[in-house]
Amino acid sequence: MNDVAHDLHAPHFIGIGGAGMSGLAKILAIRGAKVSGSDAKESETVLALRALGADVHVGHAAENLPLGASNVVVSSAIRHDNPELAAARERGVPVVHRSDALAALMGGRRALAVAGTHGKTTTTSMLAVSLAELGLEPSYAIGGDLDAPGSNAHHGAGDIFVAEADESDRSFHKYAPEVAIILNVELDHHANYASMDEIYESFETFVGRIVAGGTLVISADHPGARELTSRVRGRDGLKVVTVGAAEDADLRVLSVVPRGMTSEVTVELDGAELTFTVSVPGRHYAHNAVAALAAGIALGIPAQDLAKAIGSYTGVRRRLQLKGETAGVQVIDSYAHHPTEMAADLEAIREAADGNRVLVVFQPHLFSRTQQLAEEMGQALALADSSVVLDIYPAREDPIPGVTSELIIDAARRAGAEVSAEHSFAAAPALLASLARPGDLLLTMGAGDVTNLGPEILRHLAGVSTDA
């Protein structure tokens, strides 16, 4: 670990409004650090950080870097030519990656790290909420807000620190957890990983970071996770606990029964059955809850108490979050951007729809992901009754010639989907409102700014309803 990460008394965050960065900034501000930072635009998250005393600038400029900054914290999304990063180098201010800063914050705590290609934010959130419900006062850093801007992180008085461990840039190699969860292992983040072998090697390195005597909780159902288990099982000082519906799972899921927007889950634990409620819909969320249960048990928390506490988790922003209902249409926001996530969320909503139509407005995220997975994204959209696909949200990437949303639309049509393109972001809310009818469930789906369409769609639905 970079030693300067231990000196975070006056950190400056470039891109402080991001999900991962803002959480660290919040914890440091609560711990008494003199936090400063910058972000591209004003946001609720920026306002929440200012309320904690952080000095946050909008826009990136060299003069934003304070003279007394102890170091500059960056994520992998920050470009090398960022003016504040250049100023830090010129002035000799140490530059710290976000993962090093998080590792420093976790130091001295019983760390629980949640990894996997999908489901990290939900599972980390389930643990944070349930441990807090049990009065254990955990600290946590999550890749999404629980219920309000700034709720993605907390500095607790207890000795447990729960963190989302990001594999996208190999930054999860920096952590040394007592308990690690691996939910699934798939090829993603194509700019950083060229093959599944590279993915497996990266996850093996993460497993190797678990402290001696620690526990790995890993899926017994997912093919990639099973392969990883075969590679790491038998390592000295490592306990492996497999979870899932597979007959050989150590903590076996016996049933997941949908109850509208909740599920009733029954597991077999030490030869006995345990049934509890998961207050979000879908089989994949139920399995996330079982992984959280196994991790908590590994920390010594009684299973019955933890299972009941998990039921108090009601969701995280952007993970099948109900944005509102107008004119008989429910508008739900989904962060899903990888085909596996898309299919899982659509299947969950299909169960909750109880025979009503499921509509989707999907915004692809990253040119590289679209280039590699357009066919699978199109197949996932075929699970909806009707879909509208927006232009690709570029995030940190430059365009790739020939890679557009049309690749997904063509694949969706080959899979039998009813799908259309909408190239104007501003025109999308009116289009979606015109397509919807009472009883429909309408999802805004993707990791970009498609989340902003929900309130606009609801306003258009209200207008249509009023005119009628």
- Asked if residues 342 and 369 have their Cβ atoms less than 8 Å apart, the reply is no
Catalytic residue list contains 120: yes
Give the span between the Cα atoms of 141 and 356, in whole angstroms.
Answer: 37
Catalytic residue list contains 41: no
DSSP alpha helix (H) spans, 303-427: 303-310, 339-353, 367-381, 406-414
Catalytic residue list contains 186: no
CA distances from 367 to 253, 362, 402, 404 (A): 37, 14, 10, 8
SS3 4: helix
Q: Could you tell me the strand order of the sheet in which 36-39 lies? A: 55-58, 36-39, 11-14, 71-74, 95-97
Give the span between the Cα atoms of 78 and 421, in whole angstroms.
Answer: 31
Give the span between the Cα atoms of 310 and 279, in whole angstroms.
Answer: 8
Q: Given the residues 34, 120, 174, 323, select the one marked as catalytic.
A: 120
Residue 451's nearest CA partner among 372, 368, 333, 336 is 333
Give the span between the Cα atoms of 167 and 365, in whole angstroms.
Answer: 17
- For residue 439, the one-letter residue type is G
Instruction: Tell me the two tokens of residue 264.
Output: 């009733």
Give the span between the Cα atoms of 167 and 10, in whole angstroms.
Answer: 27
Query: Three-state SS string across 374-399, please?
Result: HHHHHHHHCCCCEEEECCCECCCCCC
Q: Backbone dihedral region of 351: left (phi > 0), alpha (psi from -120 to 50 degrees) or beta?
A: alpha
Give the span between the Cα atoms of 72 and 96, in whole angstroms.
Answer: 6
68-90 core/surface letters (b: 16 or more CB in 10 A; e: else): ebbbbbbbbebeeebbbbebbee
Which sign does the torsion angle of CA 327, 330, 335, 338 carry? negative
The torsion angles phi and psi of 242, rounded to 5 degrees, stand at -95, 145
- What crossing angle do the helices spanning 120-133 and 283-298 adopt, rounded to 10°? 50
Q: Given the residues 45, 117, 121, 444, select the one marked as catalytic.
A: 121
Identify the H or E element spanning 20.
helix 19-30
Q: Given the residues 26, 124, 164, 340, select the one marked as catalytic.
A: 164
Active-site residues, by number, are 120-121, 164
